[in-house]
Amino acid sequence: MIYNESAIVRFTSELAEGIYKTTLFSPKISSSSKPGQFINILPKDDWSNVMRRPMSIASQEDDEISIIYKVIGEGTALMSNWPIDYAVDIIGPLGNYWMDFDIYTPILIGGGVGIAPILNLHNHLLGKEIRHCLIMGARNSREHFLDHDEKNGVFLSTDDGSKGIKGNVIDVLNHFFSDNCNKYKIFSCGPPMMMNSVSDFASINNMKCDIAVETIMACGIGICQGCTVERVLDKNTSIHSYRDKFALACIDGPIFAASKIQKCI
């Protein structure tokens, strides 16, 4: 069920350079959301922009949810400065959620603020004692807020080698996970170029792969048609409807099988 809830800001902290985590008291959404889903946020009461701000849910427990975001514009700047006890108009939980993580050994891959739905799944799997690996990529150590811990399946990469493994998430995959690929399934969220590379790796190595698409979702409920994602069409069928050709990230996703959609843009 989807709720329009007045959530209360508990606290906000800066996790890494320009990356913030805000915890909200939101009992209805907290009790009904699952890892991979998102909320649509009104950053302030007199927000004049047409679109709310979609944010993946980073955690849900004890009547609270959290979001992790990078300050890149007016909306996120407002969010990073919300005072404690501020009431925020949010809608959620929206979209679908991660599945089939108990059939294969999960490899979780996040980049940038794509960490939010990945971290949610990571903690969910820890709670269920499901063995898995977590790979997080960033440009440098200042953008990381986790510890590199290969013994416990946490692999950090940085472009400049300042933390963890020098390189990107594909370098980590090639080094550690290029054998016995059919026992793994990838769950990924991050910048489009990263997810395209992850999808290519999965395709080449015959691995299952689900990706969470990051895109603008104005309404969050499929009305505005602004978050279209092009599907891979069945080559044996010559006639397709609009909905056959295009999915909507807000209601059909944001999680898709990588093999079922065209490249991220």
pLDDT of 143 strictly over 70: yes
Residue showing tokens 């602004």? 226
**Is 80 exceeded by the pLDDT of residue 121?**
yes
In sequence order, which residues have a C-beta less than 8 Å from that of residue 148 and are 6 or more positions away? 154, 155, 156, 163, 164, 165
Query: Which of 62-76, 183-197, 216-230 is least confident?
Result: 216-230
User: CB burial class (10 A; 0-12, 13-18, 19+) of residue 236?
Assistant: exposed
What is the model's pLDDT at position 265? 54
- pLDDT for 178 equals 76
Asked if residue 253 has pLDDT above 60, the reply is yes
Per-residue confidence band for 219, with pLDDT thresholds at 50, 70 and 90: confident
Give residue 63's pLDDT: 97
If one compares 63 and 232, the residue with the highest pLDDT of the two is: 63
Give the mean pLDDT of the chain.
91
Tell me the per-residue pLDDT of 175-218, one tens digit each, with 9 for 90 and over. 888 777 778 999 999 998 999 999 999 999 999 999 999 877 77
State mean pLDDT over 102-126.
93
Residue 175's pLDDT is what? 86
Kindly state the percentage of the chain with pLDDT values over 70.
Answer: 98
Among 63-77, 81-95, 235-249, the least confident range: 235-249
What does DSSP say about strands 38-42 and 53-61: parallel, antiparallel, or unpaired?
A: antiparallel
CA distances from 83 to 23, 246, 262 (A): 12, 40, 41
pTM, 2 dp:
0.93
